[in-house]
Amino acid sequence: MLVAETQAIAAGTAGTPRSFATMQGPFGVLATTYRATGFRGLWLGQTGTFIRETGGAAAWFATNEFVSRMFITRRAALSGRDASTMSKRDLGAVELGLAGAAAGVAYNLALFPADSIKSTMQTEDELRPASAGAPRRTFMGTARAMYRAGGIRALYAGCGITVARAIPSSAMIFLIYDGLTSHFG
């Protein structure tokens, strides 16, 4: 169904509330959004973003530290050293990368539904225009509708590819960060 709706938008037959061709640059997008949805439209999806970023960042950093600590404990046991005297500086690039990769997985698995709900809210007007004067669905209302339509799978649609993308990127982010911290920190 989304494919047909996306094709209808591309063909200009979906009755979209705004013309994407007329949006020129960020100020054009802001102006078009404001005209179509008012000031509130500029904050559409903020609840989902807030949940994803706060909880996701907590999962991201906590998982990185947890897995790094596991590698430190393992290295200490193998070398006969006391783990409390060791830090991430004692880990190799592969261990730091694996800890970062695990963090990327945790970030996405923990709160992916919040991002799915946010994206649905942000694209709903273009993909499924409501009747004139119909109230916009809330974050929880959108979550309930998605769950009723497809269960837990609807809330995690696209998660697999997102996790696959997050593994190398988070591995590189933490590998670079920990490397720079060890060198300059």
Residue pLDDT, tens place only, 76-88 = 999 999 999 999 9
pLDDT at residue 3, rounded to an integer: 44
pLDDT at residue 44, rounded to an integer: 79
Helix, strand, coil share of the chain (percent; to 5): 80, 0, 20
Q: Which residue has the higher pLDDT, 92 or 41?
A: 92
131-156 confidence digits (pLDDT tens): 666 777 889 999 999 999 999 999 99
Between the alpha carbon of residue 133 and those of residues 32, 36, 129, 143, 162, the distances in Å are: 19, 13, 11, 21, 35
Is pLDDT at 161 greater than 90 in this prediction? Answer: yes
CA 152 from chain center: how many Å?
17
Contact between residue 177 and residue 98 where contact means Cβ atoms under 8 Å apart: no
Instruction: Reduce the DSSP state of residue 170 to 3 states and report it.
Output: helix
Contact between residue 171 and residue 104 where contact means Cβ atoms under 8 Å apart: yes
22-72 confidence digits (pLDDT tens): 557 888 888 888 888 788 888 878 888 898 899 999 999 999 999 999 999
Residue 5 structure tokens: 């709706």
94-131 confidence digits (pLDDT tens): 999 999 999 999 999 999 999 999 999 888 877 777 66
Domain ranges of the chain: 1-43, 45-184
